[in-house]
Amino acid sequence: MRSENSPRGDASSASGAGEQEQGQSAAARVWAQYRGMIFERLAAVETAATTMREASLTQEVRQEGVLEAHRLAGSLGMLGLQEGTRLAREIEHLLKEEPPASPDAPHRVAELAAALRVELEKGPA
């Protein structure tokens, strides 16, 4: 019977740490590759949020905001940015509501877009 302090146990532990580091560096590489595109998508979401708050949201801008929020939710999920995914999904849901279910929706979308920007500025951990 092997003890927990056997060399094999240590190797497994070291291997797990190495795999975690590789996963993090892979996420960092993917982030570096797609960061520009992610921020372009965020810009479309922010435009929709701003125009919604100003009561000048067109159907075209709304649809683009919904689409880009949806794409962000998926992309950020693959990168492990769970909070960013949650924020993007909530934005997508609020932008889809026509007319907005709450008079607070335009303000809420703007708050969520600002919070999403903060999350994206942090990048993957």
Q: How many CB atoms lie within 10 A of CB 89?
A: 18
Q: How many CB atoms lie within 10 A of CB 66?
A: 20
> What global pTM score does this model have?
0.79
Please name which of 85, 47, 81 lies closest in space to residue 65, comparing C-alpha atoms. 47
Residue 109 near residue 52 (C-beta atoms within 8 A): yes
Q: What is the pLDDT of residue 18?
A: 58
The structure tokens 């795999």 sit at 19
Q: What is the pLDDT of residue 22?
A: 65
Q: How many CB atoms lie within 10 A of CB 83?
A: 13
Condensed to tens digits (0 to 9), the pLDDT of residues 59-117 reads 999 999 999 999 999 999 988 899 999 999 999 999 999 888 889 999 999 999 999 99
